[in-house]
Structure 1
Amino acid sequence: MPMQAGRPKILGFISEQASAWLVALVVLSVGSALTVVVAWAAADLYQQQVHQRFQLLVNERFTRIQERFEDQEQRLGSLQRFFANSADVSRSEFDGFAQPLLLHARAYSWAPRVFREQRSQFEQQISRQRGEPFAIRELNALGELAPATERDEYVPVLYSQTQSLLGAPLGFDLLAQPLRRSALERAQQSGKPAVSQPMQLVGVEPAYAAGVLLVAPVSKAGDTEPYGFVMAVISMRQLVTDGLPKPNRDNLVMQIVDTSDSQQRELYASSNALGNSHLSSTRRLALGDHVYALSVRASQVFDMANHSSMNTVLAMGVLLSALLSALLYVLVSQRQRALKLVEQRTVQLRLREQELRGAHGQLRSVLNAATQVAIIATDLRGVINTFNAGAERMLGFKSEEVLGRLKLESLHLASELEARAVPLSAALGKRIPPSQAMLVESPDSQHEAREWTLVRKDGSRLTVNMLVTVLLDDYGLWVGHLAIYLDITAQKGAYEALAARDRLLKKLSSHVPGGIFQFTLEPQDNWRFIYASQGMRDIYEIELGVLQQDARTVFERIHPLDAERVRASIRLSALQLSHWREEYRVQLPQRGLRWIRGEATPEELPGGGTLWHGYVSDISDLKRVEEELRALSITDSLTGIYNRRYFQDRLKVEMLRLNRSAGTLSLIMLDIDHFKRINDQHGHAMGDRVLQELCKRIGQRLRRTDVFCRVGGEEFAVLCPGTDGAQAYSLATQLWQSLRNTSMEPVGIVTASFGVASWRADEDIDGLLLRADSAVYVAKQAGRDRVEACGSGQALMPVGAGLLAKKP
């Protein structure tokens, strides 16, 4: 047959020129896609490296600043010990000791305590020592130093060693300014160093005026009260910036804020420009009795030093893809010239046709070498004329028993041929005999291998895949058929085993409590369930078909308050490849609100994305039991009110609220008078009834915001958020009257001693509890059956027939 008559088109249905363009476009598209993937991976790696560099810089900066804070405390501690261990310290001795300490601090000072009656003698004595007038001073309304007003006590700056060019404000009374006075009082009460709120420092250049005062009390051995204070005047700008890079070279932008300051004022803020990245970190710094928040973000210098190379990767990848597509276009377009060259060589190939016929024997040897595949050729009548060694091995026949004697149909199962012939005849519109059923293709066939059953020589059967094609001679005439058989018996058994395993898995999953699933998160943020057991339908009340088509139906069931948390935890698990575990609520159409627990183990997919294997279960009953147990753990079993544990937890929460924002808080504590006498005279059962009746009466008069707790055997506490001292005192009076106005049969009148304390600024939990307990103690010592307010100096007690009288 001439070569020109059988020349095919590229891709079978379009012209060669169009095929060249198509190949070039496909290569360009694939290359661009690969470039995007590589760029995305490079960008992800870049983001990880930038984050690691930023964290290293933040750790180094935090360590440096924290070491400087600790160094300031150590230096002030050495100055404190110097005064405590010295009988008297002169100015020259102070200067000699304090001068070497001036590192990262503006000044170190010594300020003794001077009382009202000592002021005149103290000023005269210091004036004689200094040889110039000396007076205790304070800032007036114009911001100038003027003689201090009369007070019971003064703490003037006597010695000062400073780096400031403006000198030291000697004689300045630290008690004249609220922030400094608060720091001194806290240092005096605790006996430990205390730090002031952020302030503008006196006698310091304006650029370094923002800072704090670190104060330490100085006491002689055996004394409980300090006779003076040593101070470190700390400028935050000097402390933080010494030794750091210049602003135009600094990679970090810092901000330091006092967490205890209600106004959240800045103690320090970097002057360099903030970068565009979202990298940030917050650390906690401790100085004295204060905690500061160090906020760090990346600067423009950091962004410039860590720029991404993704644009370069994209440009180079697209350029290489374009060059490769152009090269392939040139190669494919040369096919026409190659075909012409083939035509020229056809004549030479025909001359060698005879030589190829001689190679027919070699071809037969090759066929016989294919021992794993049966190759059988027939003539137009179906008589077998080629039977290779693979066919002998597969079917058990010798080639001499088959060649020219058997037809191909004799090797097939007859019932299968008849069953195949019926649909073929209907599809082709003519009768197809069973003997030809294996050789005829249906109209919708794409020359694919078809499954058949063959019969061996011993009568056994095997399943094969058969591919059949026509045989043409040199002139294109149909001379027979060629059938290739592949034994798939083992493969089919494997498929059946897999099907049986799938059925077993489905049966097992249907009996497991809860639901088993496989869930994927693809790079395009596509959420999908690739497998879900029957239990998933019961958990979410969603049909499995709908569940596997769109995973969003599950998230629509999740409670709105939990949905975003669940999504975030899934993304975090995908990012870190960490075990996923969540408990969340779902709103179901039939069963309403239910609690669900889910657990899954992730793995990264080769093509991108994450696959989870996990399960979900309904834990609503468990949650109900947990709530009941929690209620039992915070409730007193005898009286039914809150117990000591809940009181302590609630008090901590209220104190944290007060530290974050301004507010009021009061505490009422009461102790039943002579409760042991009630138990001894009437028995413990009656004592329990008294406790229950007392709780009932007090509970009826409390507000909804008050927290009533039993903190001991006969000790009770009422926590009053948003209540000042006067309101708490009034409430305690009402509770006191409710007990003593009505008797408890057969015990009679049961009274209690009440103590009231309201929260003060800068007071901790122990301080508030101690003051309230002290008020109860005072009430007990004063004769019981009364109300004492800590610090108020007044009490209520019964006089005559229920009359109230003020205690002097």
Structure 2
Amino acid sequence: MPLHVVRPKILGFISEEVSAWLVALLVLLAGCILTGLLAWSTYNLNKQQLRQRFQLLASERYSRIEERFQDQEQRLDGLRRFFVNSDQVTRQDFDGYAKPLLRRTQAYAWAPLVSRAQRPAFEQAVREQGVAGFSILQLNAAGEMEPAGDQDDYAPVLYSQTQSPMGSPLGYDLLAQPLRRATLERARERDGMAVSPPVHLVAVDPAYARGVVLAAPVRRAANNAGTSSRPDGFVLAVISLRQLVADGLPVPASDNLSVRILDLSIEGRHEVLYESNNPPIDSYLTASRLLRLADRDYQVDIRPGAAFLHANHFSLGSLVILGGLLSVLLSALLYVLVSQRQRALTLVEHRTAQLRSREQELRGTHSQLRSVLNAATQVAIIATDLRGVITTFNAGAEHMLGYSSAEVVGHLTLESLHLPQELESWAQSLSQRYGKPIPVSQAMLVEEGMMAGHEAREWTLVRRDGSHLSVNMLATPVLDDQGLWIGHLAICIDITERKRVHEALAARDRLLKRLSAHVPGGIYQFKMDADGHTSFTYASDGIREIYEIDPQQLQEDAASVFERIHPEDVERITQSIRVSAQNLSPWREEYRVCLPERGLRWMRGAASPESLPGGGVLWHGYISDISDLKRVEEELRALSVTDSLTGIYNRRYFQEQLQHEMQRLERSGGEMAVIMLDIDHFKRINDQYGHAVGDQVLRSVCERIGRRLRRTDVFCRLGGEEFMLLCPDTSGRQALVLAEELWQGLRGLPIDPVGTVTASFGIASWHEGEGADGLLLRADSGVYAAKQAGRDRVQPELP
């Protein structure tokens, strides 16, 4: 048997001549497979974790929105029960109850149901309550308020508590608008809450003007029976979903989720009620749930935002690259170990491959350059020879100007693409500047060469269809290897969108200035630096009327504003600003200012702070003159505690003062007494002389008694001919002496035309631990005993 040379083999089957490549390839292939399996496993795990994180965030966001919807229903139901359980709700009662409920709600309102026959009396009654010029109104086609037309029923807004600086649309008839009328009818039929379709909210900041109206009927048990009866009116909550949902959420740049709320009540047409400012990203992650408010369904769509993707970024590429690098490194190491004998041959083959590669590179230089030019699809690159004839026209130029490269190259010049009037004007300008004629064909190029600069300039190019395109063009000379000028290169960028944005910004600035000039008050930005220095970075013209200071003067220093604030209020205002800056909490204050021309005025200011880089704080706010409102509040307060017939205090004021006095006695002790009197045979006076004489008798009695009282005594009319006198720091004996003096003074002088008028008096002094009801009951028992004993007498205090 002949002997054959046995050549060693690697791994038992790989020839030595190709062992280096095969070993490296096998190791690299195995490493890539292992890296791929690890990457796939890691990717699936990360995808599952990402889905869990998204579902958790989406559930939390949905729960928050659902809780806020339920909170709106609970607050409105509380307001409805407040009306149902109250015999009469005044404007002050409504404001006191509704104002704390305004968080995340634009406004709360009470709209009584008024029939056509009741309308004149209703309007007159509201005017007598202090709302001057009140009438039932409706919106016309121009969006302005006008007197409501004739209809069977009206639901005018009588009481309103709102966050809007535009005020409350008092008198606005909710039944005059079809959508709101339909909402009230549903609430009436359901005897429960109903929510309107998306409507334009009246007297609301435009940023929150799109929303819904939540309504509930009010039926007092004393006036109605059964769900089908006519309600007394409706309580309403004006809700802006942008305010309701977005309040308290992170800023759009850091919000992980993008939320959209759709109204599903109209079949075939779903309106978007709310959409987050941060746009959603394209992702397989999504969540959609139904949410109900009153009698309507809403669909809540939640998708991840850019912040979510950024916060949960997973770099699969880095894992693949690392695994690949390790595989390549191991392959290279094995390749070096087994390729010692083949290194020379490998080098030769490598050099040969390089030469071939260089040859291919040289052959493909022109095509590569063309590919690079055509890849710049957003930039027009146009090259010309010295005559201006176009030699290069890339894909970006074709896209911008509508020409094909075949139509332009060798046929058109750069001048033919420009607007002729613009070139002629620029050529004349250059000729005057340099003192020699400049050809129109070189106008767009001369400036760069003569000034030795390369600055872009705005030009207008003409498209193939004849339309105009605004571009920023940079023109430079093209030089050969010897530095000779062989042509020009023009690079054009479309600036149409940029110009549109600049024009939109300028229009917005003009609009802001016009709007702020017509706002009844002042809009401002107030800045406090880290060192405590204050200034107004922006102040509308309304500030001039508020403080009688030029707004330009406040941009450097705000000290002149604090000099206008009343000395008794300036420390409080300064402290509230410090607290707002420390806590970044909203600033709201009412204070007085002393103006050189208008004197003392009341102001109301509100602002929202934000921190600035470097430690400063910037407030965005609004300030208005509320002097007239303060005056009206004082007048309404006086009317609410005064009896309209006699001019003395009424029962409500007496009860308030009695409670205050009893609380004082429980804290510090002391004495107190009450005197109750009832005019004898007052019904006989009304029947014999008429109610006008009876009213005159009541006024005369009050005038005589009032002259004999101390300043600390509280004299009020309980109702009809009954009166009550509260005497602080008075014992039962002293009260008896005072009652006898009042009795003598009353019966001592006749009252025309009635003659002598008498009264029966009852007395009660406060005993420790006794309540108000017990004290008044003893005084009333004293009056009753005096009447039983024959009237016209003072009954001593009963035990």
TM-score of the superposition, structure 1-length normalised? Answer: 0.44
Q: In terms of Rg, which structure is larger?
A: 1
